[in-house]
Amino acid sequence: MLLFRSEEHAGHWREARGFAGAKTLSLETGWKLARAWYERKLEPDWRRHTVDEAEALFAELGLVGDFWRLR
């Protein structure tokens, strides 16, 4: 996942690189996603999210649609 100065710059990169289906998200959503995904990574009882859990997390953050499906 990359950072872009603006939606316009992200769109230019999408077109230039041939990733028409790429999706942008706000920094706020990205921060929420990172916290939910990684905040337990260094803990002894950490485990990977299941597919169901990951998809539920995406949905909770408004990341819905085919792009965010894991299967």
Partner 1 sequence: MTDAATLDRDVRLVIAECIRDRGGVPSLAEVASRAAVPQSDAAESFARLAAARVMILRPGTTEILSFNPFAAGPTEFWVRAGGREWSALCAWDAFGVAAALRTDGVVLGHCADVCGVPLEVRLAGDAIGALDGVVMQFALPAREWWKDIVFT
Site residues, partner 1 (CB under 8 A): 1-7, 9-10, 12-14, 16-17, 19, 21-28, 30-31, 33-35, 37-44, 46, 48, 54, 58, 66-71
Give the span between the Cα atoms of 33 and 14, in whole angstroms. Answer: 22
CB of residue 53 vs partner 1: minimum separation in angstroms?
Answer: 13
| Token pair listed for 56 | 């539920």
What sign has the CA pseudo-torsion 35, 41, 45, 49? positive
CB of residue 46 vs partner 1: minimum separation in angstroms?
Answer: 8
CB of residue 26 vs partner 1: minimum separation in angstroms?
Answer: 6
